[in-house]
Amino acid sequence: MASDSPVFIGVDLGATKIVAAALAMDPGKEGVGEVLSQVKGKTPRTAKAKDIVAAIAEAAKSALASAGKPCAGLGIAIPGPLDRAKGLVRYTPNLGLENYPLAQELSAALGMPVVLENDVQAGVLGELVGGALRGCRNAVGVFIGTGIGGGIVINGELYRGSTGSAGEVGHMILMEGGPVCGCGNYGCLEALASRTAMAKDALALAASGKAPAMLDAAGTDFRKYRSSAFEEALEGGDEAVGGVVDRAGFWLGVGLANIVNLLNPEAVVVGGGVTARFGKRLLKAARASMEDRLMTGLAATVRIVQSELGDLAVPTGAAIAARRDLEARRPAGAKEKSAR
């Protein structure tokens, strides 16, 4: 890769963590480029937008400083619905941002162009360009973490919908009157199969003495019920926690069946921290549940695969989205401008 390749920053803003990566990309070449640096930080436990903007800016600056090269632009990936063209966050179920001009505020804080992207759409774009969905024409991504998000690929291109919010599969209602979701509705896929949903059930088991390995791993502090704690509990033989994972897999499979019946994709990539830690068991239950509910003959037409890019899927996709958008806006013959 040429030493003067433009550098783009991709940032994944999650409910609990921020991941920023600097990628160098050769002009005119499609691909994920070279990852120059990666920085992880904590998302502020605050409802104040200015604190979140400051944390994102700090992570981006750290990634850029580690890369040691000027930056052409930044892609910020956020959970929830947005207006991509306006750079406006409509609502983030687990962060408290609402009708907030995030792209504009970040651009002012960093002095560079900023492109707003949905987080799982960004992850799916990363997997499409350089991960598990390479070569796919029609595919879907479902990423499981604090919540559940999705992304759709149609005819080889990311489908964003009219404002950039397509693919919110986590908010399909699967159980009328079911558990409350972070979005305010009841019985959403996210409320049944996300890590948050699993953590609620696992905490009750640990507190009642039915999941001793989970109690040792995370105590009774809900904030510690992360994917790593589930992995530790499963390795410690907590079959009650295994039942929680299997139940989440069942509902994930119901959601996947609806998606596959509707869109007929050739592949579904499942990503996020949950699948990285204990995806084998979760996906085994999900496949069985999905296949029981698919239209006859569809099971043989779709592959369920795990993310290849892991934590870098979303920031990589965000950086790619920023590059594509900024190149599309640039007049023919204009040169790349960089900022530090």
Task: For 272-324, write each residue's pLDDT tens digit.
Answer: 989 888 989 999 999 999 999 999 999 999 999 999 999 899 999 999 999 99
The Cα 216–Cα 199 span in angstroms is 14
* pLDDT tens digits, one per residue of 102-136: 999 999 999 999 999 999 999 999 999 999 999 99
Angle at 35 between CA 89 and CA 159, to 5 degrees: 40
CATH number of the domain that 27 lies in?
Answer: 3.30.420.40
The pLDDT value recorded for residue 4 is: 73
Shared-domain flag, residues 116 and 143: no
Shared-domain flag, residues 94 and 111: yes
- Is residue 339 included in any domain, yes or no? no
Shared-domain flag, residues 18 and 38: yes
Shared-domain flag, residues 161 and 142: yes
The pLDDT value recorded for residue 331 is: 58
Structural domain span for residue 188: 135-307
Two structure tokens written together for 69: 């090269």
Shared-domain flag, residues 167 and 274: yes
Number of domains in the chain: 2
DSSP 3-state assignment of 122?
A: helix
The pLDDT value recorded for residue 185 is: 95
Q: How far is CA 219 from the centre of its chain?
A: 27
Closest CA to 151 of 75, 259, 258: 259
Shared-domain flag, residues 158 and 54: no
Q: Scanning the structure block, which residue is given the tokens 């502020």? A: 44
Phi, psi of 36 (to 5 degrees): -90, -30
- Is residue 1 included in any domain, yes or no? no
* pLDDT tens digits, one per residue of 150-166: 999 999 999 999 988 89
- Is residue 189 included in any domain, yes or no? yes
Shared-domain flag, residues 284 and 176: yes
Residues 129, 30: contact at Cβ < 8 Å? yes
Shared-domain flag, residues 34 and 59: yes
The Cα 10–Cα 45 span in angstroms is 22
Beta bridge partners of 91: 98
Dihedral angle at the C-alpha atoms of 28, 324, 160, 74, nearest 10 degrees?
A: 140
